[in-house]
């Protein structure tokens, strides 16, 4: 009779030790699977298996999910507008759920069903973009949660408005007047303090030559003041005055943006509350998205959705300690 003895220090793959799998997993946190496989003379599929083993161990050692403030966003997983939803615990600075089939209300309901009604009711604030499906699901499942629209997504809509004006001006003009506009998209969308001296000079020249873009730029810059208010009444007065200043300007993209803000005012006014402004890291969701885009490019060509899920959920977790595999026990099973 042939018997197989289980050795505690082996990883999932019988030809690999847990300590070696731990080392490979750590290397894959910063390098691509292809580069790690080339360095160690391994098949890339074997490296991927060891990295997934490492990430599962990270999740098994992570604290229990019990969020008070969540961030909800979607990421594109392939061409053709195929999305997955990412939910983060903003206070603990980590993604906690990745799933769904699209960015619909039904897909986000899967998160709340996974979290459970008891923990869902503990959520006091949900940060999201102005997507109605996310708001509907949150109001139905997390009944005590306030809705706060992410500042970065709001400003993205405003950036799209000024870029639409830029494009229309470029199409309307010709010759030297058009030349001032060419290549100015970044300068118009960026904060002035982030521009280099040549870029500032080019922007100043453009604004002196084109009245409509000058007006649009001033409106964009002045709207930033909205985020400084700590009292909703003052914020509303400022916005009403800002909206009134659009009259007779013939800037339809800005009028559409103002109507968008009007329709979603409650979720924007929540930003005025000091407990949201001072105690919640609202830039975390955008930072997480940037991090996800980096390893999506690094893992280009890998279509494994479970791999992507593990990658997202562990990207903010600390690395495993080597002592966790010294005795041949957890985290590697």
Evaluate whether residue 12 is within a structural domain.
no
Name the residue among 129, 132, 178 with its Cα closest to residue 149. 129
- Helix or strand or coil: residue 275? helix
Looking at residue 145, the DSSP 8-state letter turns out to be P
Using DSSP's 3-state secondary structure scheme, residue 265 falls into: helix
**Lowest mean pLDDT across 3-17, 63-77, 133-147, 241-255:** 3-17
Is 266 inside a domain boundary? yes
Q: What percent of the chain has pLDDT over 90?
A: 47
Condensed to tens digits (0 to 9), the pLDDT of residues 45-58 reads 889 988 998 999 99
pLDDT in tens, 264-279: 998 898 888 877 776 6
Strands (E), the chain: 69-78, 82-89, 94-99, 125-128, 146-149
* 201 and 89 inside one domain: no
- How far is the CA of 291 from the CAs of 42, 89, 294, 305, 330, in angstroms? 27, 16, 5, 17, 28
298 versus 282: which is more confidently predicted? Answer: 298
Residue 82 forms part of a structural domain: yes
302 near 318, Cβ under 8 Å? no
Q: Is the peptide bond before 145 cis (omega within 30 degrees of 0)?
A: no
- Report the candidate in 151, 106, 99, 96 with the shortest Cα–Cα distance to residue 133: 106
Check whether residue 99 and residue 161 sit in a common domain. no
Q: Is residue 124 part of a domain?
A: yes
Compute the average pLDDT of residues 91-114. Answer: 93
- Structural domain contains residue 235: yes
| pTM as predicted | 0.81
Report pLDDT for 6.
55
Q: Are residues 178 and 237 in the same domain?
A: yes
* Tens-digit pLDDT profile for residues 39-90: 988 898 889 988 998 999 999 988 899 999 999 998 888 765 788 999 999 9
pLDDT of 318 higher than 70? yes
**Please, what is the average pLDDT of the chain?**
86
Range of the domain at 41: 18-61+303-325
Contacts for 27 with CB less than 8 Å, ≥ 6 apart: 36, 39
The DSSP code sequence of 49-106 is HHHHHHHHHHHHHSPPP--SEEEEEEEEEETTTEEEEEEEETTTTEEEEEE-SSSSHH
- Alpha carbon 207 to its chain centroid, in Å, reads 32
In a domain, 290, yes or no: no
Where residue 328 falls among pLDDT bands split at 50, 70, 90?
very low
**Dihedral sign, Cα of residue 252, residue 258, residue 261, residue 263:** negative
| Residue 10 belongs to a domain | no
CATH of the domain at 136: 3.30.420.10
Whether residue 298 lies inside any domain: the answer is: no
Same domain, 266 and 316: no
Which of 116, 150, 184 corresponds to the end of one domain?
Answer: 150
**How many structural domains comprise the chain?**
3
Bridge partners of 10, per DSSP, are 17
Separation CA 289–CA 182 (nearest Å): 30
């Amino acid at each position: 009779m042939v018997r197989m003895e289980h050795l505690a220090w082996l990883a999932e793959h019988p030809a690999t030790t847990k300590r070696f799998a731990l080392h490979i997993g750590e290397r894959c946190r910063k390098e691509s699977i292809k580069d790690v496989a080339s360095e160690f003379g391994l098949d890339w599929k074997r490296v991927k298996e060891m990295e997934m083993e490492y990430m599962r161990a990270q999740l098994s050692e992570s604290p229990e999910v019990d969020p008070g403030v969540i961030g909800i966003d979607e990421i594109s997983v392939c061409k053709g507008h195929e999305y997955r939803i990412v939910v983060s615990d903003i206070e603990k600075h980590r993604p906690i759920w990745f799933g769904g089939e699209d960015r619909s209300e039904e897909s986000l309901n899967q998160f709340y069903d996974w979290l459970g009604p008891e923990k869902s009711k503990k959520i006091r604030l949900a940060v999201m973009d102005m997507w109605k499906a996310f708001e509907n699901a949150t109001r139905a499942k997390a009944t005590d949660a306030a809705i706060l629209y992410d500042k970065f997504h709001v400003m993205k809509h405003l950036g799209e408005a000024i870029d639409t004006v830029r494009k229309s001006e470029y199409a309307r003009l010709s010759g030297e007047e058009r030349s001032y506009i060419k290549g100015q998209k970044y300068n118009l969308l960026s904060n002035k303090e982030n521009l280099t001296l040549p870029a500032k000079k080019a922007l100043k020249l453009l604004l002196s030559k084109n009245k409509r873009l000058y007006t649009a730029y001033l409106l964009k810059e002045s709207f930033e003041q909205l985020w400084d208010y700590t009292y909703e009444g003052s914020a509303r007065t400022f916005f009403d005055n800002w909206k009134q200043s659009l009259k007779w300007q013939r800037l339809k993209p800005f009028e559409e943006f103002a109507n968008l803000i009007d329709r979603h005012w409650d979720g924007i006014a929540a930003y005025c509350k000091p407990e949201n402004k001072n105690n919640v890291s609202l830039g975390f969701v955008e930072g997480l998205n940037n991090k996800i885009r980096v390893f999506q490019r690094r893992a280009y060509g890998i279509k494994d959705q479970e791999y992507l899920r593990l990658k997202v959920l562990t990207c903010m977790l600390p690395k495993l300690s080597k002592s966790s595999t010294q005795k041949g026990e957890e985290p590697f099973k």
